[in-house]
Amino acid sequence: MSLAYVYGVGTSYFGRQPDQTDYSLAWRAVREAFADALVQGVDAAYVGTVFGASGVAQRALHAMGLGGIPMVTVENACASGTTALHEANVAVRSGRYERVLALGLEHMTARMRGGIHPELTDVEGATGLGMPSMYAMAAHRYLSKGMATAAQLASVSVKNHHHAMANDRAQYRGEFTIEEVLASTMIADPLTLLQCCPISDGAAAAIVGVDRRVAGDVPIRASALRSGGLWDHRSEQVWGFELVSATAGEAYAAAGIGPEDLDVLEVHDAFTIGEVVTTEALALVAVGAGGAAAAAGQTAIGGRHPVNPSGGLLSRGHPLGATGLAQTAEIVWQLRGRAKGRQVDGARVGLVETMGGGVAGIDGNGCVVAILGG
Amino acid sequence: MSLAYVYGVGTSYFGRQPDQTDYSLAWRAVREAFADALVQGVDAAYVGTVFGASGVAQRALHAMGLGGIPMVTVENACASGTTALHEANVAVRSGRYERVLALGLEHMTARMRGGIHPELTDVEGATGLGMPSMYAMAAHRYLSKGMATAAQLASVSVKNHHHAMANDRAQYRGEFTIEEVLASTMIADPLTLLQCCPISDGAAAAIVGVDRRVAGDVPIRASALRSGGLWDHRSEQVWGFELVSATAGEAYAAAGIGPEDLDVLEVHDAFTIGEVVTTEALALVAVGAGGAAAAAGQTAIGGRHPVNPSGGLLSRGHPLGATGLAQTAEIVWQLRGRAKGRQVDGARVGLVETMGGGVAGIDGNGCVVAILGG
């Protein structure tokens, strides 16, 4: 099988945008992606959304003149956007289509009332465990076992908000101190407001196609998708670790590279502890070393493993279905050397990782890892 | 590419089942499909649902021990179940997986309040056009142009309710006269209650895999998926006709057969007019001849083109995401000669067709046609 390539990417602005709609957000992302790809039309579309209404993908794309093609809406919680990318990648690599649109969109302010509510048919959701409390339990285990300190967790927020200073599409930007992060409103102890991703509206898109040997096309070296399960309390690891580790292992093996080969990463930092655990699960650092690595600047732009130069979910924002493709867009811009004030010098190989819990149905999670460039 | 095969199928009972859950319905369908397929485990799962909560697929399948595999939830309105089948078929044919579960599920009584509400961001939905009124407009055009009579439309309901007499999983069964159908409560003139599909709960599943040369495995000769659009009022045809026709044309060409080769069909009779239009779009009969064909018994079991021996959406029920796989299960049973009291004698080639409007987002529709057997 030959590789599939990202021809072009596009995104909307991210943030609370009640004046926008699913369709206007999608339009911005798709229009930019086509302009960037220098093509017109695709053979098929995969569209990731979590709370979008039935048919939102078709309505959005028909209005842009993309009617008649096969369209499949995919849902995989916070990994819905990267699920669309993964399905597009596999479809092109297998020769099923020559060119596919992967789109993610989410207008959370219109579709949700105040946040993601626990799904009561989920065993963990039924206990009242929402996403913040789930991640807080992971953070508590790290703190209690001496695997990270509260200040180290906060340093992830400081870093990602700083990175977002150079991202004019980010929802939040700011220069904070660790003390300020720790002093912000407590959401789920020990996670404070500045350690939690916001409610966001946004869309992001990528055009994926066969090799055309055009400068700026970025190869998808590998992508992998897995589903996980309940927090296995017999495990020494926190929720999500094994799933991310297994999915990354599959992607590394398929790409023929290891974590030492990665120049830049966009990972699922819905909460600060999430980024710490993910850098460990991706084997960038040893288990229990992620907090210290963040605090030491190893995961900042200029560090050994720059993570979330866009600002990540914490600062760029987290429009659920759009997130995976917003991450993909950032990696593509980085690998092209066009990330302006947040460029990672000489970035050649990048990784995208998204892990979704079943929207406070924690049981129903999935993970996608994609490796681009090289 | 070699063909993919349906190893086994399973369904729940269909009907309003407030005592069941998404999970118990899925369990019945999946358990039966595995027992029928004589296998354990799959490499991946595609799960179709329209109103299921985020993560419902993972929760349902993890509880059955199917954790860790790639799972993708797909949504394509009423064609969500056949979209799962289509993606499974393509994945196996392309060598991506050896064995895939396609599951459709919908617990409408729990997830919806009284029906499918028009989506206000849809241009047609915003006018108040729900599905019954959309189909009623098509029926009116047929009546006003002399392409069908009210009695002919009603004969579809008589036939499908009669077919369902031999289907103990159907939501409704009954021996009605044309007069009784016409005299039932008016829903959207000229469509009366007995000409409209009910609100249903149910699940259906198929295990799709590579050729293993086992008796009872049913080859998927072809499947096609397309998206449609708004009712083009410049067209002489009613909404959906062109989409079904184009999708079927693609499937016929890929399978190397034509409508004259079909022994049995399960098609999208959400409303009586829908079945009439679909038999014409599938080229079983000429445009404008579908109503007369139904009234003459040509689409009944024993007729030239038996359509909806299961009772169809009108009588078996229409649990949105499950419908396409319930249709698939019926065709598999028919092709194996095991459809008991509703068996189409000597059935060797069957067709499944589902067309979804974007749940009263009429713009956002899609269609899947699959051809099995032969």
Read out DSSP for B24-83? HHHHHHHHHHHHHHT----SEEEEE-SSPPTTHHHHHHHTTT--SS-EEEEEBTBTHHHH
Read out DSSP for B269-323? -SBHHHHHHHHHHTTSS-TT-HHHHHHTTTTSTTSSS-B-TT-HHHHT---HHHH
Q: Closest Cα to residue A61, out of A166, A207, A170?
A: A207
Selecting from A55, A77, A361 the residue whose C-beta is nearest the C-beta of B361 gives: A55
Measured distance CA(B219)–CA(A1) in Å, rounded: 25
pLDDT at B370: 98
Helix, strand, or coil (residue A87)? helix
Give residue for tokens 């599909």: B197
Q: Which residues contact A180 (CB under 8 A, 6 or more apart)?
A: A194
pLDDT at B128: 77
Q: Which two tokens stand for residue A341?
A: 């004030």
Q: Say whether pLDDT at B159 is over 60.
A: yes
- Chain A: closest CA distance from residue B241 (Å): 13
Q: Say whether pLDDT at B273 is over 90.
A: yes
Selecting from B51, B67, B364 the residue whose C-beta is nearest the C-beta of A229 gives: B67
Q: Say whether pLDDT at B229 is over 80.
A: no
- β-pairing, B201-209 vs B191-192, is unpaired
A318 is catalytic: yes
Do A92 and A219 touch, CB atoms closer than 8 A? no
Indicate the burial class of B161 (C-beta count within 10 angstroms; 0-12, 13-18, 19 or more): buried
Q: Which two tokens stand for residue A294?
A: 């963040």
Say yes or no for a CB contact (<8 Å) between A53 and B119: yes
Among B51, B59, B90, pick the best mutation site for testing chain A contact (most A Cβ within 10 A).
B59
Q: Is the peptide bond before B190 cis (omega within 30 degrees of 0)?
A: yes
Query: What's the angle, vertex CA A357, arms to CA B57 and CA A257, rounded to 5?
Result: 100
**ipTM of the predicted structure?**
0.91
Query: What's the angle, vertex CA A121, arms to CA A116 and CA A127, rounded to 5?
Result: 70
Selecting from A56, A62, A75 the residue whose C-beta is nearest the C-beta of B73 gives: A75
Statement: the pTM of the whole predicted model exceeds 0.80: yes
Quote the crossing angle between the two packed helices A131-144 and A272-281, to the nearest 10°: 60
| CA dihedral sign, ordered B296, B300, B302, B307 | positive
Give residue for tokens 């849902």: A75
Q: Which residues contact B215 (CB under 8 A, 6 or more apart)?
A: none
Say yes or no for a CB contact (<8 Å) between B364 and A67: no
Query: What's the angle, vertex CA B82, arms to CA B77 and CA B86, rounded to 5?
Result: 125
Measured distance CA(A79)–CA(B214) in Å, rounded: 37
Q: Which residues pair with A368 in a beta bridge?
A: A225, A354
Say yes or no for a CB contact (<8 Å) between B361 and A21: no
> Taking residues B276-285, what's their average pLDDT?
98
Read out DSSP for B81-123? HHHHHHHHHHHHHTTS-SEEEEEEEEEHHHH-SSSPPPPTTST
Per CB-CB distance under 8 Å, the chain B contacts of A228 are: 58, 67-68
Q: Which residues of A84-105 are buried (b: 16+ CB within 10 A; e: fewer)?
A: bbbbbbbbbbbebbebbbbbbb
Say yes or no for a CB contact (<8 Å) between B246 and A122: no
Measured distance CA(A151)–CA(B65) in Å, rounded: 40
Among B23, B50, B64, B72, pick the best mutation site for testing chain A contact (most A Cβ within 10 A).
B72
Give residue for tokens 């499937």: B251
Q: Which two tokens stand for residue A22?
A: 């699913």
A192 phi and psi angles, rounded to 5 deg: -90, 170
Q: Closest Cα to residue A111, out of A14, A19, A201, A12?
A: A201
pLDDT at A1: 67
A100 phi and psi angles, rounded to 5 deg: -135, 140
Helix, strand, or coil (residue B347)? coil
Say yes or no for a CB contact (<8 Å) between B358 and A226: no
How does pLDDT run along chain A (374 residues), one tens digit per residue?
699 999 999 999 999 999 999 999 999 999 999 999 999 999 999 999 999 988 888 889 988 888 889 999 999 999 999 999 999 999 999 999 999 999 999 999 988 776 777 777 777 777 777 889 889 999 999 999 999 999 999 999 999 999 999 999 999 999 999 999 999 999 999 999 999 999 999 999 999 999 999 999 999 999 999 998 777 778 889 988 999 999 999 999 999 999 999 999 999 999 999 999 999 999 999 999 999 999 999 999 999 999 999 999 999 999 999 999 999 999 999 999 999 999 999 999 999 999 987 544 455 589 999 999 99
pLDDT at B359: 44
Per CB-CB distance under 8 Å, the chain A contacts of B357 are: 55
Q: What share of chain A is helix, strand, coil (3-state, %, to 5)?
A: 40, 20, 40
A107 is catalytic: no
Q: Which residues contact A331 (CB under 8 A, 6 or more apart)?
A: A218, A264, A265, A266, A350, A351, A352, A372, A373
Read out DSSP for A288-312? T-HHHHHHTTTTSTTSSS-B-TT-H
pLDDT at B363: 54
Do A278 and A244 touch, CB atoms closer than 8 A? yes
Catalytic hit among A62, A78, A163, A196: A78
Query: Residue B68's pLDDT band (boundaries 50, 70, 90)?
Result: confident
Q: Say whether pLDDT at B309 is over 50.
A: yes
Mean pLDDT taken over chain B: 94
pLDDT at A72: 95
A9 phi and psi angles, rounded to 5 deg: -135, 160
Query: What's the angle, vertex CA A333, arms to CA A330 and CA A336, rounded to 5?
Result: 150
Q: What share of chain B is helix, strand, coil (3-state, %, to 5)?
A: 40, 20, 40
- β-pairing, A349-356 vs A264-266, is parallel
Q: Name the more confident of A364 and B157.
A: B157
What digits encode the pLDDT tens for the residues B161-213? Answer: 999 999 999 999 999 999 999 999 999 999 999 999 999 999 999 999 999 99
Do A328 and A341 touch, CB atoms closer than 8 A? no
Q: Is the peptide bond before A219 cis (omega within 30 degrees of 0)?
A: no
Do A261 and A374 touch, CB atoms closer than 8 A? yes
pLDDT at A148: 98
pLDDT at B86: 98
Give residue for tokens 């990602």: A160
pLDDT at A254: 98
Q: Which two tokens stand for residue B24?
A: 């118990």
Query: Residue B123's pLDDT band (boundaries 50, 70, 90)?
Result: confident
- Chain B: closest CA distance from residue A334 (Å): 29
What 8-state DSSP symbol labels residue A53?
P
pLDDT at A251: 98
Q: Say whether pLDDT at B259 is over 60.
A: yes
> Taking residues B22-39, what's their average pLDDT?
97
Helices (H), A22-79: 22-37, 56-62
The size of chain A, in residues, is 374
Q: Which residues contact B338 (CB under 8 A, 6 or more apart)?
A: none
- Chain A: closest CA distance from residue B370 (Å): 14
